[in-house]
Amino acid sequence: MSHAGTTGARRISFWLALLIAVVVPVVFAATSPLLAWRDPVYIVAGFAGVVAMVLLLFQPLLAAGQLPGVSGPRGRRVHRWVGGALVLAVVIHVGGLWVTSPPDVIDALLFASPTPFSAWGVIAMWAVFASALLAGLRRRLRPRHWRRAHTLLAAVIVVGSVVHAMLIEGTMETVSKTALCALVVVATVMAITKLRVWVKRAP
């Protein structure tokens, strides 16, 4: 097989594996028996959370240029679009939960909820909003400072989101959820390592 053929096969295999990693958890969540008696708003809110986890897998891959065919300037543009979609997913997730149960959301925002996963979700939520705000201020900050702050917020988002998801016994099936969360963590660590954000570069 030629080099071009090998590269094409690897690209297809990568995208196929990524597709399986994100589709399987969504399918299991969509077919969960726990959805039988839930309100439509609650279901939408829950799926927004699942979508947010899926988007978190793409973000570090895009940032590090690891998605075949989506690298360089195109990858950075898609990274920004996915970031916007992530903010929207979080807003829908929290907004839907607010509609179904305002007291629970208030307790979570005040870190007064008896459920441990709530605090981690709130931390991740604020980190997502802060990251979006930081993206809007990018041109006003020194590149090195911006990269480090953005990377730190990304790490907080990933840790908070993964712990939040793993502590919830909800519609997501345990094995596929664990696999997705593990992939998000691995992709994030690999991206941070590759980008060498904390290494001081020569002027």
pLDDT in tens, 80-124: 999 999 999 999 999 999 999 999 999 999 999 999 899 999 999
Q: How confident is the model at residue 37 (pLDDT cuts 50, 70, 90)?
A: confident
pLDDT at position 38 is 85
Cα–Cα distance for residue pair 118/94, rounded to 1 Å: 11
Domain boundaries, the chain: 3-195
Cα–Cα distance for residue pair 85/88, rounded to 1 Å: 5
pLDDT at position 179 is 94
pLDDT at position 6 is 61
Proportion of the chain above pLDDT 70, given as a percent: 94
The class that CATH gives domain 3-195 is mainly alpha
List the one residue out of 179, 169, 167 whose CA is nearest residue 24: 179
7, pLDDT greater than 80: no
33-36 contacts: CB < 8 A, separation 24 or more? 34/170, 34/171, 35/171
pLDDT at position 5 is 55
Cα–Cα distance for residue pair 6/119, rounded to 1 Å: 46
pLDDT at position 198 is 66
27, pLDDT greater than 70: yes
Model confidence over 137-146: pLDDT tens digits? 888 888 888 8
Model confidence over 47-82: pLDDT tens digits? 999 999 999 999 999 999 988 888 888 989 999 999
Which one-letter amino acid corresponds to residue 155? A
